[in-house]
Structure 1
């Protein structure tokens, strides 16, 4: 009977999460049966959107075992982490009016004592603690990771700890006395796997056609699979994030079907469909992760049509950024596309007179074939970014946490890339990801002349 139940649970999960049969089977063999569970800690790692958290959470619900699933991004201190775990393992519901947790817990010793009390009351044998985004443990108290890795030994209660992270375990080696957990790797999906997964979204695609067109387009699975194949031919090299690919595939399918609905081409003319959708797919690459293609315009029949204007100017206008964040982005662009040796000439008012050489005259007399804005962005340090930011900003503002938060937001939005580890305090490096047309639009919004401060145009 137990084997039949095991098979049923595994099969349901494999149908829900295709192309993850091996990982589901292995994880179930480790935690599926509480009476046979012997592991102290499990280390689940892999890139973003590969099914680590969702598969673990779904499996825990299906086997109906007491567990605490905690996202460490929400637990900004160890106190919040301890109290969150205690609340979930004790089934304590926090009253919004009172806001009182199960127990106040300030340190690891109090946490272990409270766990023992809960165990005596409700029996925590076979319980599981899941720490999602476990890389955040590197920024927290030094004793947290070693304790969670050997939790069963320390508390003498058969509780298993699962760590879920995007980092490999070797990245945690700076910590002392680490016990090697059982490792479970979730690899990135390859192109064929993504094709199979995205093809399963055909029912969403049919619903979108119903919501956006007057008549129904009767297409089969093969038609949608061909579209997904075309979509991945553009997106696969740039993005492997399943969540983002799924979102972009759904909204671009409207444009793929428009020529058919407008009687411009046949459903079976794949080459004509490709020629029409290719420019749209390529332009939509520029708005990955920004989620700006939600602007809806009503049609005459009362339905709504998704407007997919992926032009660079539209992206810059639609993206709502705080005032100082716009100047930080402009400063980042200038730092990426100007040589550091030109900073004094560009941003210092009384920088002294530059003596022109023959090479300068030659450079000025001919148009350069390779402008800095065409060669791609260069890395720059945090100190240089701040120096340019204060040089181009008319206001006198002090350095504060608000600027750091806005800089982090630009990194989260993929407008900037962080090129250094979080632990590097001196000389943290970034790179600007936006192009000239984008930054020109942002500059006009704040009344800033970007060309005046770029080395490529300073001679004009």
Structure 2
């Protein structure tokens, strides 16, 4: 089919998933419920939306981060299925739905022949009314509409939803991580845009061919592939570093065929860019990146607490953060600590995992203000994870046993500390004995 061929061309590396969607939502029969799952930035939502638009199916897409309550979710679905336009001056839904029964009644009244409901970020259903997920999995049976289907899109496996009782098992459609070759094929689709950017940057309209760009992508991914698989971030970083890669050619220092000279020129820039992934600071790292980053007051202290938790042994917390911890007897180990070489410092060995409870304990210990635990602090932690200043090592939706690592370097955190007037060296095991 031309439609499938067009989608496969638009989304390299996803031929299997597109064909499975076609089989599951065919013209004659359609699956009741499909569970699409995979990591971030692997094409789940984009491909599902593009497929439904190409097939011209009546469909509604609801992001459960935005539709955070049952009422908003159900009314949003009905609005989209009926193409109801919200008037900003009088934002009334096509039908009010306070509960699932209202939704099912309205759904039957609209007499839909063929429809698909897409629930993006479906893992959020675990935090909503307990009957929502089982009901969406059996929506065809409950609504009496023989050709309605539900697609759930999630970054976690279905087994982690921890559903109690018997529920209908959806058809699983996995989206694995892209391989290096697939990422190159996807990034190569940006060649025209990068060529235009090159022409805008250099007055003499420096021209390169697609093979030159493919060679650049191989060089680029040799640095970035092991650290980042997020396609959106890779596309952004590849684009902003391409102009720098071509700089020696523009200056006539080397030719486009001299790959070794181009590599020697771009390697330091790629390394600097690697330190500021997700921060959108081209060529800025360490102190410059920290100064350019605008964080709320408590988020800065949470980041400092995270750094201390990552680079201090947990056994030192009492000594470092409690005022009345008792007198510490100096041992031979303490004497030897004074002669630690740089390579042995914890701040040079990399971050260690820490628990959410330990993060909060250190945060409250170093913060002069007395602030109660609230949702705002949870949002701040989530924001730090989204910015990749912290890395979550477990399920983001379960705070019990949650583990993190702090990803910023010492220069970065020292600048953040100076912004709030905090002496971080005083609270680091590596320097507290000095």
Give the TM-score, by structure 1 length. 0.90
Q: What secondary structure does 1:67 align onto?
A: strand
Deviation of the 1:369 alpha carbon: 5.0
Q: How far apart, in 2, do the equivalents of 1:401 and 1:189 lie?
A: 35
Deviation of the 1:380 alpha carbon: 2.2
Match of 2:18 among 24, 30, 55: 24
Task: Please say if residues 285 and 412 of structure 2, whose CA atoms lie closer than 8 Å, have aligned partners that are also in contact.
Answer: no
Indicate the residue corresponding to 2:300 in structure 1.
326
Alignment of 1:249-268 (within 5 A): 249-268=238-257
Q: How far apart, in 2, do the equivalents of 1:439 and 1:126 lie?
A: 55
Q: What secondary structure does 1:80 align onto?
A: helix
Indicate the residue corresponding to 1:343 in structure 2.
317
Indicate the residue corresponding to 2:415 in structure 1.
441
Q: How far apart, in 1, do the equivalents of 2:261 and 2:404 lie?
A: 42
Question: Please, what is the CA RMSD of the aligned residues?
Answer: 1.8
Q: What secondary structure does 2:153 align onto?
A: strand
Q: How far apart, in 2, do the equivalents of 1:415 and 1:425 lie?
A: 18
Q: How far apart, in 2, do the equivalents of 1:347 and 1:321 lie?
A: 24
Once the two structures are superposed, residues 146-166 of structure 1 have per-residue CA deviations (whole angstroms, 9 ceiling, x without a partner) of 111121122110211111112
**Structure 2 unpaired stretches of 5+:** none
Q: How far apart, in 1, do the equivalents of 2:202 and 2:339 lie?
A: 56
Q: How far apart, in 2, do the equivalents of 1:95 and 1:216 lie?
A: 48
Give the TM-score, by structure 2 length. 0.95
Q: How far apart, in 2, do the equivalents of 1:236 and 1:366 lie?
A: 34
Match of 1:83 among 72, 75, 79: 75
Q: What secondary structure does 1:455 align onto?
A: coil
Indicate the residue corresponding to 1:303 in structure 2.
none
Once the two structures are superposed, residues 46-79 of structure 1 have per-residue CA deviations (whole angstroms, 9 ceiling, x without a partner) of 2222211111111211221211111111110111
Q: How far apart, in 1, do the equivalents of 2:336 and 2:172 lie?
A: 61
Alignment of 1:36-435 (within 5 A): 36-119=28-111, 124-157=112-145, 158-293=147-282, 309-365=283-339, 367=341, 370-422=344-396, 424-435=398-409
Deviation of the 1:427 alpha carbon: 4.7
Q: What secondary structure does 2:344 align onto?
A: coil
Label 1:256 to 1:144 Cα distance change in 2 as closer, same or farther (>3 A): same
Task: Please say if residues 338 and 433 of structure 2, whose CA atoms lie closer than 8 Å, have aligned partners that are also in contact.
Answer: yes
Q: How far apart, in 1, do the equivalents of 2:287 and 2:220 lie?
A: 23
Q: How far apart, in 2, do the equivalents of 1:421 and 1:49 lie?
A: 17
**Structure 1 unpaired stretches of 5+:** 1-6, 294-308
Q: What secondary structure does 2:110 align onto?
A: helix
